[in-house]
Structure 1
Amino acid sequence: MRTFPLVGGPVELRGALDLERTQAGVMPRRLPAWTKEQYQDPSVYGVTVMPSGVRLVFRTDARELEFEVLTSTGQLDTDPQPRPTGMLELLVDGAHAGRRQAPMGNVVRMAGPGAAQRLVPGEPGTVRFAGLPSGMKNVELWLPQQTPTELVALRADGEVLAPLPDGRRRWVHHGSSISHCLEADGPTGTWPVVAASLGGVEVINLSQAGNDMLDPYVARTIRDMPAGLISLKAGINIVGLATFRLRTFGPAVHGFLDTIRDGHPDTPLLLMSPVSCPALEEDPGPTTMGPDGKITALGDPADVVRGALSLTVVREELARIVAARRARDPHLHYLDGRELLGPHEVDDLADGLHPTAAAYRRMGKRFAAHAFADDGPFR
């Protein structure tokens, strides 16, 4: 087995916009380095190093590959075991060739959400994929979407070459945890990856669990990166944390779109509203988890008439904004998120908010059927 460099060599890292040097190796991040100084909440950094949609891409004639990684997963003091590390998935010439549980590495212990953290250091672990087809082939290793993963080493029993240019259109997507898809059954089971595979495009997933807040640094990131297709899914975090009122929400959406259009004036851009969430359809946030383990709204429904946001209000406002802008922006489109997961499917929301793994795959198929149809926004 020969060791090949992960940086500065033939391997290409796709889906990440930054690489941090660590003591063990390199850590991919899904936002550029310059954005870090603008994070108001430390959770933003935490979700940008969760590599949803990040993969190593190269060509090889090897029959056996080894990947050495160091994961970091969380554990509440009340839980007997750390959270699952997720899956590493290998694709060969676009077809699934194996999946392995990511090895347990660092464990971050905490007394509860928002409490001080204690690091229990771990060691890198190795996953092996053997019995690969002979001859030169295109290989993608997809990292677990929910677990920060430091890349330590790549070893192969053959040659490793740079990938050929990817002629597919690049689709850049930004959303919340429901686009980050921590609950998916693997990195290729997130709904954006499912949709991208069906649509024949390359996806870059900039979604941030709990932090889809129309942050200007995200808009500037999208503005400045190559993109042939763009989609934005907005609203659930804003309602769930009660971060905007109606008076400020509309201008923030306009500003986000204006910034993106500064760099992509004619790129197809699909603005999506939230999927169904019974607790927030008519009631405003903030939210908490009820004794039944499901999300519940704490806001006063009577406050909606005074400008508090519910999902119903958000959908109406997003549809209104797109309709008003389309006169001068015909490449802007709107999709009601309930077309991906509707009120008749709320049993697929285990905690009243996040879809199941099967529901994520169904959402990907529905998005592809809509967006990539002959008359769809991404046709």
Structure 2
Amino acid sequence: MAQNWITTPIRHALLRGFIELEQTARGVLPHRLPAWARAQCADPQLAMAESQPSGVRIAFRSRATAIEVDSFATRFVYVGVPQRPPGQYDLHVDGRLAGQACAADADVVTFDMATGGVSKRQGRISTLRFTGLPDGDKAIEIWLPYNETTELVELRADMPLEPLAGEGRKVWLHHGSSISQGSNTASASTSWPALAAARGGVELINLGFSGSALLDPFTARVIRDTPADLISLKIGINLVNADLMRLRAFTSAMHGFLDVIREGRPAVPLLLVSPLYCPIHEETPGPGAFDMDALAAGSIGFRATGNPADRARGKLTLVGIRQELQRIARQRMADDPNLHYLDGLDLYGPADFADLPLPDALHPGAAAHRRIGERFAAFAFAQGGALSAR
């Protein structure tokens, strides 16, 4: 028997966690940076990361028991590097996971690091189906993959739907690296920021950008200009593994980043978080690189290529960044009562590494994401916490 579908255009009111919505030839593409910011940086790594909709979800109320979403996915692969699993779409009903699906096909962009070449294979539209949902009015959220660029084409359901109201929850904007974006976690709604937001009862805007938490001024301006009740910044690992700047530049850039945010959000609770524990970069500067021995064995791994002796000449390590971030935070907190600091080792430290090692020597796995999310929520969102939403 044919399904009686009701088609609803995917527009701004149905989406959460995005910054800008681009109309493409195929559908609508959620961005996590606006066009003016993207125009200021030609880095393909950032372009890839911000177009991957970590934390973005389709949100609505409905009595529907069957839902379909048509989308075009874009996946990114590297020659000689094992391909990661396809991105998961997570469907939540009244805050609980009720279904998962993957795009059956996708555009595939292939990077050849040896030659610098880039090729693209055109994919086809995929239909994500979720059936057997409970009857009755309910809040439904479909979390988009954190690791695939996603163009949304059409949303169908077997009952009418309407955009989900904000329900009075505060908006938490978080900025960080690939770890914040979700790298190595299981699915869209299980990155540590998504898990922390669920525990804290807040609306998430995730500006975690893989390889790109680099104190870019345009990112600070986006944070300044985006309505948010709570803000957190997790800074450090990308500055080390990109070998982007020395201590002198880092201190000035960090102050400047905070100054820009405070221009527009002078009293918003703001939590500054230092890096998680990562042995390869604790005392060894970047740049980071793929571990060729791991690749030869068929797995993904990373290593640090810098010289520990260069820390004396201002090269950044995680130990050095934690020390300087704490000093900067203490200095600024004297005049900014809404600024708070969290040592990243309290989220994931040496004991956690012994218990839940980093699978690729850089990114936490799914179990570690859950632990980090729980600890962050306890510190930030519990009654009286640094970002208490209650």
**What TM-score, normalized by structure 1, do the two folds share?**
0.95
Corresponding position: 1:112 with 2:110? no
Q: Within 5 A, what are the aligned runs for 1:111-130?
A: 111-112=112-113, 115-130=116-131
What is the aligned partner in structure 1 of residue 377 from structure 2?
368
Q: Tell me which of 346, 349, 353 is aligned to 2:358.
A: 349
What is the aligned partner in structure 2 of residue 3 from structure 1?
7
CA deviation after TM superposition for structure 1 residue 77, in Å: 4.0
CA deviation after TM superposition for structure 1 residue 268, in Å: 0.8
CA deviation after TM superposition for structure 1 residue 114, in Å: 7.8
Q: Which one is further off, 250-259 or 343-352?
A: 343-352
Corresponding position: 1:54 with 2:42? no
Check conservation: 2:283, 2:319, Cα contact below 8 A. yes
Check conservation: 1:73, 1:84, Cα contact below 8 A. no
Task: Report Cα offsets for 1:101-123 as digits up to 9, x if no partner.
Answer: 23222111232378322111111
Corresponding position: 1:182 with 2:183? yes
Cα 1:98–1:238 shift into 2, 3 Å: same
2:31 is matched by which residue type in structure 1? R
Corresponding position: 1:321 with 2:328? yes
CA deviation after TM superposition for structure 1 residue 233, in Å: 0.5
What is the aligned partner in structure 2 of residue 19 from structure 1?
21
Check conservation: 1:74, 1:83, Cα contact below 8 A. no
Corresponding position: 1:203 with 2:238? no
Q: Which one is further off, 122-131 or 284-293?
A: 284-293
CA deviation after TM superposition for structure 1 residue 151, in Å: 0.3
Check conservation: 1:88, 1:143, Cα contact below 8 A. yes
Q: How many residues align?
A: 376
What is the aligned partner in structure 1 of residue 307 from structure 2?
300
Q: Within 5 A, what are the aligned runs for 1:1-379?
A: 1-7=5-11, 11-78=13-80, 83-112=84-113, 115-293=116-294, 294-346=301-353, 347-379=356-388
Q: Which one is further off, 310-319 or 341-350?
A: 341-350
1:21 is matched by which residue type in structure 2? Q
Structure-1 separation of matches of 2:221 and 2:302: 32
CA deviation after TM superposition for structure 1 residue 168, in Å: 0.5
Report the secondary structure of 2:197's partner residue. helix
CA deviation after TM superposition for structure 1 residue 165, in Å: 3.2
Q: Which runs of 5+ in 2 are unaligned?
A: 295-300
1:243 is matched by which residue type in structure 2? L
1:161 is matched by which residue type in structure 2? E
2:347 is matched by which residue type in structure 1? L
Structure-2 separation of matches of 1:28 and 1:185: 21
Q: Which runs of 5+ in 1 are unaligned?
A: none
2:276 is matched by which residue type in structure 1? V
What do you get for the CA RMSD once the two structures are aligned? 1.6
Report the secondary structure of 2:218's partner residue. helix
Check conservation: 1:71, 1:85, Cα contact below 8 A. no
2:136 is matched by which residue type in structure 1? G
Q: Which one is further off, 21-30 or 94-103?
A: 94-103
Structure-2 separation of matches of 1:373 and 1:59: 28
1:238 is matched by which residue type in structure 2? L
Structure-1 separation of matches of 2:371 and 2:104: 29
2:10 is matched by which residue type in structure 1? L
Structure-1 separation of matches of 2:58 and 2:217: 29
Task: Report Cα offsets for 1:255-287 as digits up to 9, x if no partner.
Answer: 000010111111110001110111111121112
CA deviation after TM superposition for structure 1 residue 378, in Å: 1.3
Structure-1 separation of matches of 2:293 and 2:339: 40
% identical aligned pairs: 47
Check conservation: 1:52, 1:144, Cα contact below 8 A. yes
Check conservation: 2:269, 2:386, Cα contact below 8 A. yes
CA deviation after TM superposition for structure 1 residue 376, in Å: 2.0
**What TM-score, normalized by structure 2, do the two folds share?**
0.93
Check conservation: 2:59, 2:139, Cα contact below 8 A. yes
Report the secondary structure of 2:99's partner residue. strand
Cα 1:113–1:199 shift into 2, 3 Å: farther
Report the secondary structure of 2:208's partner residue. coil
Report the secondary structure of 2:292's partner residue. coil
Check conservation: 1:235, 1:274, Cα contact below 8 A. yes
CA deviation after TM superposition for structure 1 residue 145, in Å: 0.7
